[in-house]
Chains A and B, each alone.
Chain A
Amino acid sequence: MSIEAMSKTGTMDKVDLKALISAAADTIAAHAEELTTLDQAIGDGDHGLNMKRGFEAVRAEADQFAAKPLPDALKAIGTKLVMTVGGASGPLFGTLFMALGKEIFPEPDRANLATAFGKAIEAVAARGKSQVGQKTMLDVLYPVHEALLQGRIGPEIVAAADKAAEATVPMKALRGRASFLGDRSIGHMDAGARSTALLVRAVAETIEGHA
């Protein structure tokens, strides 16, 4: 069932978690070099490798995760990311999944998905002591949440995520390693914003593909 269909019926077929994990790990692996290049410009250059390590570790245990109820699976995936991604991204992406798992229903409808996603974003903001406009993954997460709340369909959500990641280019970094660069952080896309947009696309397209 598509995200569009979810918005009409308010329900969702059982989430194919294995397909989602596979799509997420594929896109991170395919873009690992790009993420590393982005991170080299204004960070410490380990984002691509770190994210790839983490999502491959999740992929390696996809069967175990998929056997759990969705909330438990998301919490376990979050914990795995915390332990394997490393850097500051591990706790941030891990917190996103762990908090999502705390709030989501075993068979979420669209309203629950939007609510849970909103709570998860707040948890990431608290973990990173950050807020919107500071050139971070939050600058993609908030617009995606807004699109979900507005009942947007999959391709529109993907477009919102890509546009939001682009919008981090002119921002000045105020959190993370990039903030040490001050004005020199302007003109580069934030690597965490880019990886977040990639994950949003992978999830949306996988769910659409099962329409």
Chain B
Amino acid sequence: MSNVGIVIVSHSPLVAEGTADMVRQMVGDEVPLAWCGGNGHGGLGTNVEAIMGAIDKAWSEAGVAILVDLGGAETNSEMAVEMIGEPRAQKIIVCNAPIVEGAVMAATEASGGASLREVVATAHELSPS
């Protein structure tokens, strides 16, 4: 698939899966999509290995936009991107946007064939900063 992929990273697997479900129902199947959540030990949290796996799953040559919830999800996502390394790392961006609205808006943009830069810009429009 040549559309930009979307990865959803929440501290809660329920939030991540629910957000992904909204994307699938509201946007459709034209966007590579993956989610992960939880610390890997049954608790809330995020996990670098799981994020790397989600990026693999949603991988697109057009790039991947990651939507996160709280600070640790952002830190772990940035770590995952660094560990994936170049050349893929330059095509992965962690968005500064609210996770649910950001995922739906970014996926909507991506489903129309927009570039990674356009997809990320759409998500960022949702953040006041």
Contacts and interface: CB of A to CB of B under 8 A. Distances in A.
Contacts, number: 47
Given A79-B83, A177-B70, A90 B76 contact: yes
Interface stretch (A16-24, A81-89, A110-118, A201-209): A81-89
Interface stretch (A91-99, A160-168, A183-191): A91-99
A46 interface: yes
A53 B44 CA distance: 16
Interface string B21-52: 00000000000000000011101111111000
B108 to A, nearest CB: 29
Contact of B76 (A44, A50, A88, A177): A88
Interface size class of B (residues with CB under 8 A): 10 to 19
A176 B72 CA distance: 7
A95 B70 contact: no
Interface residues of A, number: 20
B79 A87 contact: no
A88 B46 CA distance: 8
Given A44-B44, A83-B49, A175 B71 contact: yes
B83 A82 contact: yes
B71 A176 contact: yes
B49 to A, nearest CB: 5
Interface string A40-79: 0000101000100100000000000000000000000001
A91 B79 contact: yes
B48 A177 contact: no
Contacts of A175: 71
A94 B83 CA distance: 11
Given A79-B83, A177-B70, A127 B78 contact: yes
Contacts of B127: none
B75 interface: yes
Interface of B: 39-41, 43-49, 70-72, 75-76, 78-79, 83
Given A86-B39, A86-B46, 12 more contacts: A46-B39, A46-B43, A50-B39, A86-B40, A86-B45, A86-B47, A87-B39, A87-B46, A88-B72, A91-B79, A127-B78, A127-B79
